[in-house]
Amino acid sequence: MDGFAGLIEDVLVDAGVPREDVRHNYHATLPGYYRHEKEWDTAVVHEGNLLAVIEYKSIASSFGNNLNNRSEEAIGSFTDLLEAYEAGAFEPSPQPFVGYLMLMADNEASRATPSPREVHFDVDPEFRGASYVDRVEQLCLRMVRKRTVNQSALVLTNEEDGVDGDFWVPRQELALERFVRSLVAHVRGYISVQQGIDNYGE
């Protein structure tokens, strides 16, 4: 997923964000609330202010196990981040943009519709007859609508078209373009206003 990290960095730099403000991996390590720290995929830190945090994930095989793992990781990590923000871990930062970008293989296996295990209680009807792609879509969509993240993108591709850079999205709410626009608007908006305040002070 390094390509997505590079793309996001270039987009932010083109929007006026200093390149040194866009940190990755070890340099994007942030304190948590339920745990001491986490190494994020991308963090934007401008003049001591945390402006954005992004995770990039992919699923190309073992869809059942990987989807469960990705769901637990995302819900836990983003909840921890938001709790840390509310506890003042990133003072004096404004509330950061939180983004989740998922790349998933679109093939016969990911379009399979496994039966949910309803041992004691019924599952949410949305997950009945849902393929693995549908389940990922629900994860991303619900995190956005519950404001666990500001924006999520779900990108689908396959072995034949992916090498040429072709991809598609199952839902416009989870479009890559919307994700990028939301991120840029948040980060650039803060920097522009801060620059205006600084200039006014002079």
Please tell me which residue, 158 or 202, carries the higher pLDDT value: 158
Token output for 168: 């598609």
Contact of 131 with 87, CB cutoff 8 Å: no
Confidence tier at 200 by pLDDT (50, 70, 90):
very low
CA 161 vs CA 56, 112, 155, 158: distances in Å: 20, 20, 13, 6
Tens of pLDDT, residue by residue over 93-147, are: 999 999 999 999 999 999 999 988 989 999 999 999 999 999 999 999 999 999 9
Tokens found for residue 172: 């416009």
**Residue 178: predicted pLDDT:** 96
Query: Mind spelling out the 3-state secondary structure of the chain?
Result: CHHHHHHHHHHHHHCCCCHHHEEEHHHHEEECCCCCEEECCEEEEECCEEEEEEEEEEECCCHHHHHHHHHHHHHHHHHHHHHHHHCCCCCCCCCCEEEEEEEEECCCCCCCCCCCCCCCCCCCHHHCCCCHHHHHHHHHHHHHHCCCCCEEEEEEECHHHHCCCCCECCCHHHCHHHHHHHHHHHHHHHHHHHHHHHHHHC
Q: What is the pLDDT of residues 16-43, one digit of tens each?
A: 999 999 999 999 999 999 999 999 999 9
Query: Which residue ranges make up each domain of the chain?
Result: 2-113+123-196
Q: In this predicted model, what pLDDT tens digit does every residue of 70-82 receive, in sequence order?
A: 999 999 999 999 9
- Mean pLDDT (the chain) is 92
pLDDT at 163: 64
Q: What is the reported pLDDT for 195?
A: 59
pTM above 0.85, yes or no: yes
